[in-house]
């Protein structure tokens, strides 16, 4: 049996979005999904328990210091997990942004759809039957029935090859749980935060982005045959140019690579 744990960074709000650094909804929204065998659960949980800052109260990635994050990413890079992620720059959504403001779940469901496509691609690449996979989201204050209906509609009538990847997923396997109640959620928490830090320009951090976290995690990300992660393990909505105009960040994303010949070992 396999489990996929999914977490996010930033917030899905789309009303009043402004360019970083700003108050209100974040310019970027990222999600990360981590796939692992249940046989390896104890190993992943023990890896978290052995981290030096661990205590009875679990810390979110955003509350960790720089070197704590780097250390956590290095630990994850050695774990038997496979990761995929997605990032959206809300300011480049164009006409879709107006449509996304109509309901509170519209944008979240769309980004989740893109993430689940990547999960479907991962399951297909490993020939993992959907009946043997449980998908767990961090519980949010919303009804997930609209997401399940949305996924069902796409599965029934996929409009492109990527959408057909959702057929590798059993939507009835999707559940939600508090982050504190899923000990392996910390991996996706770190993953989503790593993607977020690659793009987020926070005034408290002098508007400096940080790509090291994602570079350290790259050995765990699903990749193309040539090892590159972009648009395989990391979905860029809708393109690299839409995600960022910063040339240094573009180069970093384009060169992110999983060095394993067979992507990563589960």
What number of other Cβ atoms are within 10 A of residue 10's Cβ? Answer: 22
144 contact partners, CB below 8 Å, separation of at least 6: 137, 174, 176
CA 252/CA 213 separation, integer angstroms: 12
Bigger pLDDT: 3 vs 15: 3
pTM exceeds 0.85 for this model: yes
CA separation for the pair 205, 228 (Å, rounded): 29
Q: Contact, 218 vs 212, CB < 8 A?
A: no
Opening angle at CA 220, ends 123 and 212, nearest 5: 140
Q: What is the pLDDT of residues 76-90, one digit of tens each?
A: 999 999 999 999 999
At 235 the pLDDT is 97
pLDDT of 208 = 80
Contact criterion met (CB below 8 Å) for 260 and 206: no
pLDDT of residue 95: 75
* pLDDT score at 179: 84
Q: How far apart are alpha carbons 236 and 25 in whole angstroms?
A: 19
pLDDT at 56 exceeding the cut of 50: no
Q: What percent of the chain has pLDDT over 70?
A: 93
Whether 15 has a pLDDT exceeding 90, the answer reads: no
SS3 of residue 263 by DSSP:
strand
Mean pLDDT confidence for 110-122: 96
Alpha helices in 126-211 (DSSP H): 145-156, 161-164, 185-197
Q: Is the model more confident about 11 or about 233? A: 233
Q: Which of 36, 47, 4 lies closest to 138, judged by CA?
A: 4
Calculate mean pLDDT across residues 89-113: 83
Q: Give the count of beta carbons closer than 10 Å to the beta carbon of residue 175.
A: 12
């Amino acid at each position: 049996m396999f489990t996929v744990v999914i977490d996010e960074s930033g917030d899905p709000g789309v009303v009043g979005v402004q360019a970083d650094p700003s108050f209100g909804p974040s310019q970027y929204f990222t999600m990360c999904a981590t796939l692992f065998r249940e046989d390896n659960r104890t190993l992943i949980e023990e890896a978290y328990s052995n981290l030096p800052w661990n205590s009875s109260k679990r810390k979110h990635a955003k509350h960790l210091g720089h070197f704590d994050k780097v250390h956590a990413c290095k630990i994850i890079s050695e774990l038997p997990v496979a990761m995929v992620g997605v990032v959206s720059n809300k300011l480049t959504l164009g006409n879709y942004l107006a449509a996304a403001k109509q309901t509170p779940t519209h944008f979240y469901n769309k980004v989740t759809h893109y993430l689940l496509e990547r999960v479907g691609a991962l399951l297909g690449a490993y020939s993992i039957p959907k009946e043997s996979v449980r998908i767990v989201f961090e519980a949010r204050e919303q009804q997930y029935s609209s997401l399940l209906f949305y996924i069902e509609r796409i599965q029934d009538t996929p409009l492109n090859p990527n959408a057909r990847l959702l057929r590798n997923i059993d939507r009835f396997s999707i559940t939600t749980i508090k982050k504190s109640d899923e000990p392996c959620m910390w991996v996706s928490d770190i993953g989503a935060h790593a993607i977020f830090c690659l793009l987020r320009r926070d005034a408290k951090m002098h508007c400096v982005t940080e790509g090291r976290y994602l570079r350290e995690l790259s050995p765990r990300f699903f990749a193309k045959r040539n090892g590159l992660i972009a648009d395989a393990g990391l979905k860029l909505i809708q393109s690299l140019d839409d995600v960022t105009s910063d040339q240094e960040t573009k180069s970093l994303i384009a060169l992110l690579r999983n060095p394993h010949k067979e992507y990563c070992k589960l």
